Amino acid sequence: MEGAAVKVYGVASSPFVATVLLCLEEVGAAYEVIPVDLAACEEKAPAHLARNPLGKIPALEDGDLTLFESRPIARHVLRKHKPELLGIGNMERSATVDVWLEVEAHQFHPSAIAIVRECIGAPLRGRACDQAVVDENVSKLRAVLEVYEARLGRHRYLAGNNVSIADLNHFTLMHYFMSTEYGPALLGPLPRVKAWWEELAARPAARKVATFMPLDFGVDKKKE
C-alpha cells in the first residue's frame, strides 16, 4: 500500500462502502476503515453528518478532502491513482466508460439491489421476502443482462477490451446477488456475462474485498 492512509467511514459489508474499498485495493492505496455503528444511528450523529450531511455511508477523508457518495469517491480514488480505469487520456474510451457507468447506476443497480434487499435483507430483518418485488426486478434485470451479453460478445469488458470502473462498480452488488437463487439462474443462459462475472470476481482486489462481505452482512456475528 502506498501513501498516507485515507479514512473510509462506514461498514465494510455495505456494497456502497465495499465499492470504495475495491477501488482502493485495485490501486494499492493505504486505507483505514472507521466503523460507523448503524444500529446505534451513528450515521445521524453530528460527527458523521459533518462528513456526510445526508447521514449515510460511506464517507472518505483524504487529507483535507472529505467526500461522500460511493460513486464519486470511487472516481476520486481512481483519478488520483489509476486514471486509466476511468479512460482518462482517451476521449473515446472515457466517453464509453461514462456510458456504461450510467447503465450500471440506472439500469443494473436498482433491480439488483431490490432483489438483494428482498432475498437477503428482508429475512435478516425478520420480514418475509416480497416475491412480487423480486419477480418484477428479476424480469427487469434479465433484460439488462441480455444487453450485457450482446456487448460482451464484441468486447472483453463493458467499456472495451480493458477493465474499467464500469466493470468494477458491479462487483459488490453482484457478490450478494449471485448468492441468491436468481443470480446463477439469470447468468446460466448468458455465458459471456457469466465469464465476465467470474473474471471480475477472480481479481485479487475483488477476492480481498469479498472477505469483508459475509452473506449475512455480519448480522449474526453482531448478535453473538
| Residue 222 within a domain | no
Let me know whether 102 and 177 are in one domain. yes
| Residue 190 within a domain | yes
Let me know whether 99 and 202 are in one domain. yes
CB 167 within 8 A of CB 196: yes
**End residue of a domain, out of 61, 81, 101:** 81
Let me know whether 37 and 99 are in one domain. no
Let me know whether 105 and 186 are in one domain. yes
**How many folded domains does the chain comprise?**
2
| Residue 62 within a domain | yes
CB 126 within 8 A of CB 165: no
SS3 letters for 160-215?
Answer: ECCCCHHHHCCHHHHHHHCCCCHHHHHHCCCHHHHHHHHHHHCCHHHHHHHCCCCC
The rounded distance, in Å, linking the Cα atoms of 216 and 30 is 27
* Beta-ladder partners of 2: 29
Strand stretches in 24-112, DSSP E: 29-35, 59-62, 65-68
| Residue 218 within a domain | no
pLDDT of res. 43: 96
Q: What is the CATH number of the domain that holds 33?
A: 3.40.30.10
pLDDT of res. 199: 98
| Residue 100 within a domain | yes
The rounded distance, in Å, linking the Cα atoms of 175 and 7 is 24
Let me know whether 109 and 162 are in one domain. yes
pLDDT of res. 223: 37
**End residue of a domain, out of 81, 113, 142:** 81
| Residue 108 within a domain | yes
Let me know whether 16 and 63 are in one domain. yes
The rounded distance, in Å, linking the Cα atoms of 119 and 134 is 8
pLDDT in tens, the chain (224 residues): 566 899 999 999 999 999 999 999 999 999 999 999 999 999 999 999 999 999 999 999 999 999 999 999 999 999 999 999 999 999 999 999 999 999 999 999 999 999 999 999 999 989 999 999 999 999 999 999 999 999 999 999 999 999 999 999 999 999 999 999 999 999 999 999 999 999 999 999 999 999 999 988 765 444 33
Let me know whether 177 and 77 are in one domain. no
Kind of pairing between the strands at 59-62 and 65-68: antiparallel
pLDDT of res. 221: 42
The rounded distance, in Å, linking the Cα atoms of 11 and 57 is 8
Domain hosting residue 168, numbered range = 90-208
pLDDT of res. 222: 40
Let me know whether 65 and 96 are in one domain. no
> Residue 121 corresponds to which amino acid?
G
Grid cell digits, residue 82: 489509476
Let me know whether 160 and 177 are in one domain. yes
Let me know whether 41 and 142 are in one domain. no
The rounded distance, in Å, linking the Cα atoms of 72 and 136 is 29
| Residue 220 within a domain | no
